Structures are given as structure tokens and as C-alpha cells.
């Protein structure tokens, strides 16, 4: 039997944000590497591995068997948090899904906010939408960390019930400014993404998409300001 799991930087960053001692619910668990790694490390006593599909849940059971942590894990075939009872979890991870799906899952489970359950969220897309949704729905983004795997930089959010002060359009895109070592590369990547989107909108017929183009140009300006500030910190 194997006794450790080496997580990828993305999952390691998410795992590091899970509060020690929490009974964890990992939603969209797939292979369940994150909860199994935390159980093996002794950071958490118990985990629920949940997934919408049977195939990923079977992979999760296989991981638990392989690493000898089946007795500390429960498995749920369910959509989002629908199969989790509020009293059986102290922290929730939702990683590797689109930001809109994450928002839908949270919108369907108001108990998460009411009970102030700590959340570790790792969206793969639609970050501006997710940050805005969190802000408008009574959640505070307490911390954001970045993780790099080859050319991709991932964002991991630590969130709890509370108020997020108003964010500028650029902050909705990039999160609040921080001194994270990957921040410069992350901001550059976002500026390139915006350049492509703005170029696409410029090709559209006159008038169509003009408002959106102006919005994106404003976001781009904000990101360049953040990048300038971050560069100054590096000197």
C-alpha cells in the first residue's frame, strides 16, 4: 500500500488552504487525490468525495482503496452539494470546474453561507463572473493564491461568508493586487487574453460589440496599472 500522494501544484495549493482538522467535502472529486492526500498527511480526519458521475466516483473509490483510506471516506453520487448534509462537513473544496458551475453549486446550497463554512474554490474559467457572484451573494474572498503547471497559471480562492468590498472591473478579472511571485506572469497572461478578445471585437461590424470592447479596454488599462505596481515591488 502507498502512503503518500504527491499532488500537482494546483491541487497542492488548494489542499494547503483546507483548514486542519476539518471534515472535508470535496465536490467534483474525480480521482479524489486531494482528500486522500490530506487524509494520508493526517491534516484532516474524514472526507466526503462527491461527484455527479459514476465513473469519477469509481475512480475516487479506487484511490481510497489503493491508499488505504476507505474507512475515513464516504462517497456520494450527487449534483453539487445536494447529497451533503450541513452537519457532516466543516470545509468544502470545489476544484477543477468552471466558475459558473461553482456559482450554481453554491447558489443551490444557502446553508454554506448561513453556517459560514470555509470554501476552497479553484475555478478553471469565468473568474470575473465567479468573483462578482461571490461579492453579490454574501461571500468574502479572504485570500487568492496562484499555482503554475507548465504554461498555465491557476487561481485558488479561500472564501467565507461575509462582505467583499466593491471591486473594480480589473479586480474582478485579476483579483485584488498582491505580491504573489506568479502575479506578474498571471497579469501578462490576462492582458494577452484581453488583447485577443479586443481584436476580435474590433473586427465586428461597427457599433456591434463596441460597448463590450470599451469595457475590456478599461479592464486592460487596470491590469497594466497593476502590472506596473507589481514590477515596481520587484525592484
Ligand X SMILES: C[S@@+](CC[C@H](N)C(=O)[O-])C[C@H]1O[C@@H](n2cnc3c(N)ncnc32)[C@H](O)[C@@H]1O
**Which of 80, 99, 123, 222 forms a contact with ligand X (CB under 6 A)?**
80
Size of the chain, expressed as the number of residues it contains: 235
CB of 16 to ligand X, least distance (A): 14
The CA distance from 15 to 146, in Å, is 13
Cell 496562484, residue? 146
Give how far the C-alpha of residue 100 lies from the chain's centroid of Cα atoms, to the nearest Å.
11
- Looking only at residues 122 through 141 of this chain, which bind ligand X when binding is defined by CB under 6 A? none
**Which of 9, 45, 68, 96 forms a contact with ligand X (CB under 6 A)?**
96
Q: Which region among 95-103, 110-118, 142-150, 173-181 touches ligand X (by CB under 6 A)?
A: 95-103
Give whichever of 96 and 184 is closer to ligand X, judged by the CB atom: 96
Give whichever of 57 and 226 is closer to ligand X, judged by the CB atom: 57
Binding of ligand X by 222 (CB under 6 A): no
Got the DSSP string for 20-51? TT-EEEEET-TT-HHHHHHHHHTS-SEEEEEE
The CA distance from 195 to 205, in Å, is 18
Q: E-assigned strands of the chain?
A: 23-27, 46-51, 73-77, 91-97, 119-123, 139-149, 152-161
The HSE-up count of residue 65 (CA atoms within 13 Å, CB side) is: 7
Give whichever of 155 and 223 is closer to ligand X, judged by the CB atom: 155
CB of 25 to ligand X, least distance (A): 11
Binding of ligand X by 101 (CB under 6 A): yes
- x/- track of binding to ligand X for residues 22-61 (CB under 6 A): -----xxxx-------------------xxxx--x-----
Site residues for ligand X per CB under 6 A: 11, 27-30, 50-53, 56, 79-80, 95-97, 101, 105
Amino acid at each position: 500500500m502507498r502512503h503518500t500522494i504527491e499532488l500537482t501544484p494546483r491541487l497542492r495549493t488548494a489542499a494547503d488552504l483546507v483548514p486542519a482538522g476539518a471534515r472535508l467535502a470535496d465536490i467534483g472529486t474525480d480521482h479524489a487525490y486531494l482528500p486522500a492526500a490530506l487524509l494520508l498527511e493526517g491534516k484532516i480526519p474524514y472526507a466526503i468525495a462527491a461527484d455527479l458521475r459514476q465513473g469519477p466516483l469509481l475512480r475516487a473509490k479506487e484511490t481510497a482503496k489503493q491508499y488505504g483510506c476507505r474507512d475515513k471516506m464516504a462517497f456520494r453520487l450527487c449534483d453539487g452539494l445536494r447529497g451533503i448534509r450541513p452537519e457532516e462537513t466543516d470545509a468544502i473544496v470545489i476544484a477543477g470546474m468552471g466558475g459558473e458551475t461553482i456559482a450554481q453549486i453554491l447558489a443551490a446550497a444557502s446553508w454554506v453561507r448561513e453556517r459560514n463554512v470555509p470554501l476552497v474554490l479553484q475555478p478553471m474559467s469565468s473568474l470575473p463572473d465567479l468573483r462578482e457572484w461571490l461579492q453579490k451573494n454574501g461571500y468574502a474572498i479572504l485570500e487568492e493564491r496562484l499555482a503554475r503547471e507548465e504554461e498555465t497559471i491557476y487561481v485558488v480562492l479561500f472564501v467565507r461568508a461575509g462582505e467583499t468590498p466593491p471591486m473594480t472591473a480589473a479586480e474582478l478579472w485579476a483579483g485584488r493586487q498582491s505580491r504573489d511571485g506568479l502575479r506578474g506572469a498571471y497579469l501578462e497572461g490576462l492582458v494577452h487574453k484581453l488583447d485577443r478578445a479586443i481584436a476580435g471585437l474590433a473586427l465586428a461590424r461597427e457599433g456591434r460589440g463596441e460597448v463590450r470592447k470599451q469595457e475590456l479596454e478599461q479592464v486592460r488599462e487596470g491590469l497594466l496599472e497593476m502590472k506596473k505596481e507589481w514590477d515596481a515591488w520587484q525592484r
